[in-house]
């Protein structure tokens, strides 16, 4: 079973359903998550495990806090493999991150409309 690309319930609860605050936070999160995926993907492709791990760790936290469960879980799995020095197929990890980013962005933007 796949985790939700975007689950707004925590965000709604944290911000007491304030539509303006939710819009601002979610729009900022979409940009931040996009930037982190792009940066992490570049580091994974370059084979830089240290920088990759730092970016993936940050992505995991931001994703979890905003309600992007799929990205958070995926990031956690990638981070685990990086930290345990397990062989990581960086091309596949980048593809998975990119696909999850697109699903999150689509669902977040749909929520905002």
Instruction: Quote the pLDDT of residue 82.
Output: 85
Helical spans, DSSP H, in the chain: 9-14, 19-46, 49-66, 69-83, 90-112
Q: Which pLDDT score, from 0 to 100, does residue 1 have?
A: 40
CA distance 40 to 25: 22
Mean pLDDT by 10 residues, the chain (113 residues): 81 91 94 96 91 95 94 94 78 93 95 91
Residue 75 CB-density burial (10 A; 0-12 exposed, 13-18 middle, 19+ buried): buried
Domains, the chain, with CATH or none: 9-112 (1.20.120)
Q: In whole angstroms, what is the distance from residue 83 CA to residue 30 CA?
A: 26
pLDDT of residue 86: 66
């Amino acid at each position: 079973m796949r985790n939700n690309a975007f689950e707004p319930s925590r965000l709604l609860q944290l911000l007491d359903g304030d539509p303006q605050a939710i819009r601002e936070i979610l729009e900022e999160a979409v940009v931040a998550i996009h930037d982190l995926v792009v940066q992490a993907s570049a580091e994974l492709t370059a084979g830089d495990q240290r920088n990759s791990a730092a970016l993936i760790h940050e992505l995991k936290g931001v994703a979890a806090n905003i309600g992007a469960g799929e990205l958070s879980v995926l990031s956690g799995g990638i981070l685990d493999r990086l930290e345990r020095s397990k062989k990581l197929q960086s091309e596949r990890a980048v593809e998975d991150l990119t696909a999850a980013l697109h699903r999150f962005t689509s669902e977040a933007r749909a929520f905002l409309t």
